[in-house]
Amino acid sequence: MENPNAMIKKLLFVLNRLDVNYKMSTTQYYNKDRDKMTTKYTIYQIHPKSDGEDFYSSTDVVIFLAKEYKYEKQIKAGEGSG
């Protein structure tokens, strides 16, 4: 299986080609419960200061972006058949 971070980059690229512009920011913080550093991924469409969707696993980000890609492909396919 491919590295999740590489998959995220590819999905962001193909979504951008479909004119769906997602951006991603990451924040690391110390999680006392797990006694280690944790990465929070935030996906947003407009601006980093706006509300975004938060994820705590790169795999969850891949799943979210893959669903968005599938949805956008269906929308684009529907536009061409009219």
What is the domain count for the chain?
1
In a domain, 4, yes or no: no
Structural domain boundaries, residue 66: 15-73
23-31/53-55 β-pairing:
unpaired
In a domain, 79, yes or no: no
The token pair at 53 is: 């969707």
In a domain, 8, yes or no: no
The beta-carbon contacts of 64-67 under 8 Å, at least 24 apart in sequence, are 65/8, 65/11, 65/12, 65/15, 65/22, 66/11
Reading the chain (82 residues) residue by residue, the pLDDT tens digits are 689 999 999 999 999 998 888 999 999 999 999 999 999 999 998 766 678 899 999 999 999 999 999 999 998 888 766 5
**Rounded Cα distance, 42 and 48, in Å:** 8
Task: Output the pTM of the full model.
Answer: 0.84
